[in-house]
Amino acid sequence: MALTISDIGQSVLDTHYAVRGPIVARAQELEKAGKKIFYCNIGNPQALGQKPLSYIRQILALAEWPGLAGKAKGIFPSDTIAVAEMILKESKFGLGAYSDSKGLPFVRKAVAEFIQKRDSGDGVTVSSNPDNIYLTDGASKGVQTALRMLIASANDGIMIPVPQYPLYSATITLYGGRQIGYFLDEGSLWCLSEKMLEEAFISARAKGLRPKAICIINPGNPTGSVLTRDNIAMVIRFAKEHGLSILADEVYQENIYRPQDRFVSFARVMTELGEKDVSLFSFHSCSKGFLGECGQRGGYMEIRNLPADVLMQITKLQSVSLCSNLAGQIVTYLMVKPPLPGEPSYETYVSERDGILGELKLRAKLLAEGLNRIPGISCQPITGAMYAFPSITLPEGRTDEEYCMDLLEDEGVCLVSGSGFGQQKGTAHFRTTILPPTDQIEEVVRRIARFQATWK
Amino acid sequence: MALTISDIGQSVLDTHYAVRGPIVARAQELEKAGKKIFYCNIGNPQALGQKPLSYIRQILALAEWPGLAGKAKGIFPSDTIAVAEMILKESKFGLGAYSDSKGLPFVRKAVAEFIQKRDSGDGVTVSSNPDNIYLTDGASKGVQTALRMLIASANDGIMIPVPQYPLYSATITLYGGRQIGYFLDEGSLWCLSEKMLEEAFISARAKGLRPKAICIINPGNPTGSVLTRDNIAMVIRFAKEHGLSILADEVYQENIYRPQDRFVSFARVMTELGEKDVSLFSFHSCSKGFLGECGQRGGYMEIRNLPADVLMQITKLQSVSLCSNLAGQIVTYLMVKPPLPGEPSYETYVSERDGILGELKLRAKLLAEGLNRIPGISCQPITGAMYAFPSITLPEGRTDEEYCMDLLEDEGVCLVSGSGFGQQKGTAHFRTTILPPTDQIEEVVRRIARFQATWK
């Protein structure tokens, strides 16, 4: 008899990933049937018109076909040819061979240098060890590896924000661990407070759970909030006090829209504090920022304060899948080593980068303002990342899942309901990306407004 | 306190993957210290000098930088330009956007057509449904997904060959399932017998295990054996009788070296038998065959006889990691849609393909003959795949792990010990690839011979 659903393990059945759940499946059906769909469910910039950076794609083209530079004289900026040659030389075998399980050594070295340069300053020198860097297929695979290491038994709990990005809840469930939600304060720009962390921790312990780690998403997904240095120091102290590891999801570090905010990494603050006892897993990705190279599946995980024998276990797990894809590893290299002032590609790179970031900033403002003009919808300022997570007032007895499904059917706007991310009891939200082009953002807002005014 | 090894789950600690284990780590150390190493541990063709096919890399270059074809007139064969344009159009957003969780629809459609064409004939029409095809980062990720679905409790067993490819043992252990080894008969070209399957099944049931599936690697890794149609029909009947699913690892389907052997797929034989009750997961990869594109991480899983609700669970799991990398998806497309006779790239493609396959055939013969000339080593003919798995006579009390480690230290030849793949008690083996260039194969054989003659 064929395999049936009753043969499937409970942890698989219990796993949910709202960003690509039933609502998206329905959107695809409607699209097939000819309906115009506005996909605001997922942070997939190039699917919404963002162009890849020329520098990155020129070098990928040269690296994919090594004979190309010699044949195509005058087409490629000279620095892209030099970088592609260096990549082919340093990788030894080009893009067609398995790399080390951790990824190509020269890429990991470049990532370590990037972290050192990004985080050092004001009298603090942050060091980074290439041996503690793992190149991964997007950040998701790194997060999954870290959680795999942390969840050892059915009582092991992982603290995650509410709302959170459902990669965390899905993976914790799949690996047989327990979610410990800590609430973010919507009224104060979704900020993080020690009180909320303590409450969540105490309540988990009272239920017999063993908290193993705390996940922080900074800038926040879906909230967009940007943590301050003091916030981060508080989390590190909290983790230390309770013997927790930290997972720092820092994939939106380039997506910060207000002049008064800036990205501060956990690596930086740990170094400032001289913290050696808290294990840190931090994640970055080529999919967000201004690259938006989701399809290339590039990213890395940097690890601090982990004993060598545990690192070896991680390397072993990575090795079972051999290595992350090489094009993604190269994009990761190019993300951390952009062209420098004076190099032939520099001006174009800066102009493309600033064009994208300027557009995102504009859209973040337009979207939040537009949503706030709709009676029954209240949106915090979008200060970072790529999403809005407004609260909505629903008719008595209705849910935000129903809201999002009906909005899709009526107006073709594909959002994700707040319940997929977690929210305070009695509240309702949706998540939408800020990624559609400006004219489409306005259209999306108009459609949501029309729906909100009439939905019962 | 930082995470320590005692915080790590037992299933992680118990997981072993010999192909990249301690022996490879030691080889890398020795290489860093200046020693010449012959890496025969892993099927990584391009790391051993195999060139990528021009057709594939030309199209990847064009797809990575969409402006290229217009700028580089006369450099690319016209069919590569047309295919790249079609890819950019059909993918909608190029290589930088997440695709559907299952992969790009046009690639899945091409895979289904490939299977239909490969398997139909002699009065049998094999159909394949693109909805049941999942594009994966290499075959490994597909195998992991299938095993994730199958292992639901600590008593669930998966039948795997002895010797096997350690991806299977590693993943079963990591997912908390149980291995049920069935022996292959070394004396008859490592063939598969119903008797061996029955014995393994009965013994597992006697231990209280619940066998859920049987894995078959055809052509065999590490054995190189090629299954006949009748062998495959026997496995399908066996699976049906015992309510097992089948995992068919068919990544070496192009690597068959004797004129009397040919690749027969499980999909074909299932169709011949009209079998509708046995769930089949079959796997293919861009990393083997004559492409050898390991670093691109492309592959697919085709599923048959699985109810829609279980398929939805698989799609859900895939969606948590968003999608496989797009360059890998494109290489998968090009693998299943090679240029046709008369097209501009055809001659070059055929000449490169036949060159590679001819070399592999020659090396398979050279290596087996060379090994068989060494007293104390006995190697079956290498009829398929990319490996030899000879048995070795060891000095009393020594193990094949020690043999391989000392061979590495003394001669710089990096093999994997038979214990990493599984073997009959009282026997010892190693696995070596057939991939080094001809002159290096001869050197490897000389070094093994010298070592074998003197090692105590």
* pLDDT digit string, tens, across residues B164-202: 999 999 999 999 999 999 999 998 889 899 999 999 999
Report residue A360 as tokens. Answer: 């995102």
> What's the CA angle centered on A35, arms A31 and A41, to 5 degrees?
55
Interface ipTM: 0.95
The answer to whether B308 faces chain A, any CB pair under 8 Å, is no
Q: What is the DSSP letter of B50?
A: P
pLDDT value at residue A235: 97
Determine whether B340 is exposed, middle or buried from the number of CB atoms within 10 Å of its CB (0-12, 13-18, 19+).
exposed
The answer to whether B167 faces chain A, any CB pair under 8 Å, is yes
Q: Provide mean pLDDT across the span B293-314.
A: 96
- B182 neighbors B162 (Cβ within 8 angstroms): yes
Q: Provide mean pLDDT across the span A238-256.
A: 97
Q: Distance between CA atoms of A270 and A265, rounded to whole angstroms?
A: 9
Question: Taking Cα atoms as reference points, which of A324, A428, A433 lies closest to residue A100?
Answer: A324
Chain A residues touching B165 at Cβ < 8 A = none
Q: What's the Cα-to-Cα distance from B442 to each of B93, B363, B373, B393, B445, rounded to whole Å? A: 48, 9, 12, 21, 5
pLDDT score of B73 more than 90: no
Q: Provide mean pLDDT across the span A366-395.
A: 94
Lowest mean pLDDT among B29-33, B72-76, B371-375: B72-76
Q: What digits encode the pLDDT tens for the residues B379-428?
A: 999 999 999 999 999 999 999 999 999 999 999 999 999 998 999 999 99
Q: What digits encode the pLDDT tens for the residues A40-88?
A: 998 899 988 999 999 999 999 999 999 899 998 889 999 999 999 999 9
> What's the CA angle centered on A378, arms A372 and A379, to 5 degrees?
75
Number of residues that make up chain B: 456
pLDDT level of residue A188 (50, 70, 90 thresholds):
confident
Q: What digits encode the pLDDT tens for the residues A316-338?
A: 999 888 899 999 999 999 999 99
pLDDT value at residue A73: 80
Q: Distance between CA atoms of A106 and A127, rounded to whole angstroms?
A: 17
Determine whether B397 is exposed, middle or buried from the number of CB atoms within 10 Å of its CB (0-12, 13-18, 19+).
exposed
Which residues share a beta bridge with A136?
Answer: A299
- One-letter identity of residue B246: I
Q: Which helix (H) or strand (E) holds B348?
A: helix B346-372
Q: Distance between CA atoms of A239 and A212, rounded to whole angstroms?
A: 9
Q: Provide mean pLDDT across the span B315-326.
A: 92
pLDDT level of residue A390 (50, 70, 90 thresholds):
very high
Does the distance separating the beta carbons of A52 and B9 come in below 8 Å?
no
CATH 3.40.50.720 is the classification of domain B97-336:
no
The answer to whether B307 faces chain A, any CB pair under 8 Å, is yes
Q: Which helix (H) or strand (E) holds B240?
A: helix B229-242
Does the distance separating the beta carbons of A151 and B47 come in below 8 Å?
no
Looking at A203-356, which runs of residues are DSSP E strands?
Answer: 210-217, 245-249, 280-285, 299-304
Does the distance separating the beta carbons of B94 and A297 come in below 8 Å?
no
Q: Provide mean pLDDT across the span B151-168.
A: 94
Residue pointed to by tokens 């395999």:
A3
Sign of CA dihedral B275, B280, B286, B290: negative
Residue pointed to by tokens 């409607």:
A30
Report residue B436 as tokens. Answer: 């080094």
- C-alpha distance from B365 to closest chain A C-alpha (Å): 24
Q: Which residues of A389-409 are buried (b: 16+ CB within 10 A; e: fewer)?
A: bbbbebeeeeebbebbbebbe
Cα torsion for B238, B240, B242, B247, to the nearest 10°? Answer: 80
pLDDT level of residue A353 (50, 70, 90 thresholds):
very high
The answer to whether B118 faces chain A, any CB pair under 8 Å, is no
Cα torsion for B108, B111, B113, B118, to the nearest 10°? Answer: -160
Q: What's the Cα-to-Cα distance from B40 to each of A81, B100, B402, B428, B443, rounded to whole Å? A: 33, 37, 17, 18, 12
Residue pointed to by tokens 């009282």:
B426
Number of residues that make up chain A: 456
Q: What does DSSP say about strands B430-433 and B416-417: parallel, antiparallel, or unpaired?
A: antiparallel
Report residue A65 as tokens. Answer: 């076909």
Q: Which of residues 243-282 of A touch B (CB under 8 A)?
A: 243, 245, 276-279
pLDDT value at residue B22: 84
Chain A residues touching B98 at Cβ < 8 A = 42, 44, 47, 287, 294-295
CATH topology for A102-324 is Aspartate Aminotransferase; domain 2 (3.40.640)
In angstroms, how far is CA B277 from the centroid of its own chain?
A: 26
CATH class entry, domain A7-50+349-454:
alpha beta
Chain A residues touching B325 at Cβ < 8 A = 137, 295-297, 325, 327-328
- Global pTM value: 0.96
Q: What region, left, alpha or beta, does residue B441 occupy, with left being phi > 0 and alpha being psi -120 to 50 degrees?
A: alpha
pLDDT value at residue B53: 97
Most A CBs within 10 Å, among B58, B141, B325, B334, to test the A interface:
B325
Q: Distance between CA atoms of A211 and A196, rounded to whole angstroms?
A: 15
Q: What three-state secondary structure class fits B333?
A: helix
Residue-wise DSSP of A243-292: T-EEEEE-TTTT-B-STT-----HHHHHHHHT--SS-EEEEEESSSTTT-
Q: What three-state secondary structure class fits B447?
A: helix
pLDDT value at residue A42: 87
Residue pointed to by tokens 């990544």:
B251
Report residue B205 as tokens. Answer: 């049931």
Q: What's the Cα-to-Cα distance from B330 to each of A136, A157, B81, B162, B175, rounded to whole Å? A: 20, 39, 14, 34, 30
pLDDT score of A18 more than 80: no
The answer to whether A294 faces chain B, any CB pair under 8 Å, is yes
Does the distance separating the beta carbons of A152 and B10 come in below 8 Å?
yes
CATH topology for B5-50+354-454 is Aspartate Aminotransferase, domain 1 (3.90.1150)
Does the distance separating the beta carbons of A151 and B9 come in below 8 Å?
yes
The tally of CA atoms less than 13 A away on the side-chain side of residue A154 is 3
pLDDT score of B289 more than 90: yes
Q: What digits encode the pLDDT tens for the residues A221-237?
A: 999 999 999 999 999 99
Does the distance separating the beta carbons of A321 and B138 come in below 8 Å?
yes
* Cis, peptide link before residue A163, omega less than 30° from 0: yes
Determine whether A10 is exposed, middle or buried from the number of CB atoms within 10 Å of its CB (0-12, 13-18, 19+).
exposed
Report residue B188 as tokens. Answer: 């008859």
Q: Provide mean pLDDT across the span B88-100.
A: 95
pLDDT score of A342 more than 80: yes
Dmax over CA atoms of chain A, in Å, equals: 69
Q: What three-state secondary structure class fits A151?
A: coil
Does the distance separating the beta carbons of B42 and A149 come in below 8 Å?
no
Q: What's the Cα-to-Cα distance from A186 to each of A222, A241, A257, rounded to whole Å? A: 12, 26, 18
Question: Taking Cα atoms as reference points, which of A107, A143, A433, A277 lies closest to residue B97?
Answer: A433
Q: Which residue of A has its CA nearest to B14?
A: A313
Q: Distance between CA atoms of B169 and B16, rounded to whole angstroms?
A: 8
Q: Choose among B5, B28, B320: nearest Cβ to A310.
A: B5
Lowest mean pLDDT among A195-209, B28-42, B284-298, B326-340: B28-42
Report residue A55 as tokens. Answer: 């520098």
pLDDT score of A19 more than 80: no
Residue B195's contacts (CB-CB under 8 Å, 6 or more residues apart) are none
Please state, rounded to an integer, the average pLDDT across all residues of chain B.
94
Domain-by-domain residue ranges, chain A? 7-50+349-454, 102-324
pLDDT value at residue B188: 86
